[in-house]
Amino acid sequence: MKNIDYKKIIVEFCRILLGAVFVFSGFVKAVDPLGSAYKNIEYLSAFGLDFFQILALPLAFAQIAVEFAMGACLLAGVYRRFHSILFLAFMCVMTPLTLYLALKNPVSDCGCFGDALIITNWQTFYKNIVLLAAAVVIFLDYKKITPLFKTSSLAFWFTAFSYLFIIGISLYCYLYLPILDFRPYKIGANIPQLMEIPEDAPVNEYEISLIYAQDGVEQVFSRENYPKGDSTWTFVDTQRTLIKKGYEPPIHDFSITTEDGDDITGDVLGNQSYTFLLIAHKLEKANDLQIDKINALYDFCKANNYDFYCLTASLPADIEEWRAGTGAEYPFCTTDDTTLKTIIRSNPGWLLLKDGVIINKWSNLGIPAAAKWTAPLESSVYGQIPANHAKRNIVFIGLVFICVSLLFLWCDRKSSNKDQTK
């Protein structure tokens, strides 16, 4: 009976675990590179490095490419020693960092899986403990990993393809829109329903503390134990600490305010006809190459009695500058900056609503040409919710990567057989 190599089994299991996690992490970030950039900005701001925010997007692309390619190469057993060192170094940096995040909570979540899977900072730390252990196992016995490629040239081309493949997906989703939308503002979403709070939903629970001062020294007391009736203590303030978070609806921060200060959120969401929303979270940074399309679409809306608003978080001076530079005649409204960036990953981008339901979304580059906005939306393909091709997209992308990888593997076997027959 052949002896079972348990160490090899453990190493291969750790290889598959690490590789799969990194491929998944890289891919879900790749379909939303702007989301990863926003998370990088959040990190930089939390650590007082705001002057590096200009690097947030390039860092996002680099992180996406490295994570995905590292995972793919580990699954294929490519450059075993190099990747075993790389994974160990990566986890040795990330594990202490996530411990700090768990203890200090400078950001709400690590963003390690984008919006596809949101986990707490403590859950992230525990996950990284497991991955660090797997990285140590692989580092100590990387030679037990079975390489799929036998020739160095094909191993190189597989690695290069992994980087180019994921960068291509990232660029497409950056220029247009995420091919998989994990946010609440996806096509087909009913915004009013997603804003509702059930009657029996749990509410936030707070611990109330009382702050008193004596001889210039402040001290915190509970509501049951404070210096009541003691004139030597002076009341300073009440402190509320959240001890248990209640129910929060998927959409909880959506509001639209006109330049005159009127809240028209209910009017927009309750409109049973079509409403076009031009989303530009920062007009001063918005791409103005499609101004003619924007103005033509506004004219189309006026001709068909459809509402049209531009939602922005820009200051009044920036709005006036946009008006002067583009000849905009449409009304401008104010919405929270983070909300606008969550609604659509484009500046500007487009949202089509009907009765509070998101009918369609377009990026600045993806908006159809003005000549196509002729028929009323009621009888146009643009006025209907398009088919959801999320599953098809995943299958197609996966098959492309697998088929090309198998082609490399076939070439590798063919080249290896030729070398053996020489």
Q: How far is CA 383 from the centre of its chain?
A: 27
pLDDT at 363: 93
Q: What is the pLDDT of residues 272-285, one digit of tens each?
A: 999 999 999 999 99
5-19, 292-306, 325-339, 404-418: segment of lowest average pLDDT: 404-418
pLDDT at 39: 92
Q: Left (φ > 0), alpha (ψ -120 to 50) or beta: where does 414 sit? A: alpha
Q: What is the pLDDT of residues 22-39, one digit of tens each?
A: 999 999 999 999 999 999
Nearest 10 degrees: CA dihedral of 112, 177, 51, 118?
A: -20
Q: Which tokens belong to 245?
A: 């978070």
Cβ contact 138:146 at 8 Å: no
User: Which residue has tokens 């009044």?
Assistant: 316
Q: What is the pLDDT of residues 196-241, one digit of tens each?
A: 988 888 888 888 888 999 888 888 888 888 888 788 888 888 888 7
Looking at the predicted structure, is the pLDDT value of residue 1 above 70?
Answer: no
User: Which residue has tokens 């995943």?
Assistant: 394
Which run of H or of E encompasses 75? helix 56-76
Pick the CATH number of 257-383 from 3.40.50.720, 3.10.20.310, 3.40.30.10, 1.20.120.610: 3.40.30.10
Instruction: Return the SS3 of 246.
Output: coil
Q: Quick one: the chain helix, strand, coil %, rounded to 5? A: 55, 15, 35
C-alpha to C-alpha distance for 265 and 335, rounded to whole angstroms: 10
Looking at the predicted structure, is the pLDDT value of residue 261 above 70?
Answer: yes
Q: Note if the bond before 249 is cis, omega within 30 degrees.
A: no
Cβ contact 282:337 at 8 Å: yes
Instruction: Return the SS3 of 218.
Output: strand
Provide the H-helix boundaries in 77-151: 80-104, 121-140
Cβ contact 119:113 at 8 Å: yes
366-401: burial string, b at 16+ Cβ within 10 Å, e else: ebeebeebeeebeeeebbeeeeeebeeeeeebeeeb
Domain coordinates of the chain in residue numbers? 6-175, 205-244, 257-383
pLDDT at 242: 77
Write the CA distances from 333 to 262, 263, 264, 305, 322, integer angstroms.
Answer: 9, 9, 9, 19, 13
Q: What is the pLDDT of residues 376-385, one digit of tens each?
A: 999 999 999 9
Looking at the predicted structure, is the pLDDT value of residue 266 above 90?
Answer: yes
Instruction: Return the SS3 of 211.
Output: strand
- Long-range contact list for 79-87, CB < 8 A, 24+ apart? 79/155, 79/159, 80/142, 80/143, 80/145, 80/147, 81/142, 83/142, 84/135, 84/138, 84/139, 84/142, 84/145, 85/139, 87/18, 87/135, 87/138, 87/139
pLDDT at 84: 94
Question: How buried is 106 (Cβ within 10 angstroms: 0-12 exposed, 13-18 middle, 19+ buried)?
Answer: middle
Say how many residues make up the chain. 422
User: What percent of the chain stands above pLDDT 90?
Assistant: 64
In DSSP terms, 206 is beta-bridged to 242
Q: What is the mean pLDDT of the chain?
A: 91
C-alpha to C-alpha distance for 187 and 275, rounded to whole angstroms: 14
Residues near 298 by Cβ (< 8 Å), separated by ≥ 6?
A: 276, 308, 328, 329, 330
pLDDT at 290: 83
Q: What is the pLDDT of residues 144-198, one digit of tens each?
A: 998 999 888 999 999 999 999 999 999 999 999 999 999 999 999 999 999 998 8
Instruction: Return the SS3 of 250.
Output: coil
The number of C-alpha atoms within 13 Å of 57 and in the hemisphere containing its C-beta is 7
pLDDT at 415: 82
- Return the CA Rg of the chain: 27
pLDDT at 241: 79
- Give the confidence band of 419 by pLDDT, cuts at 50, 70, 90: low
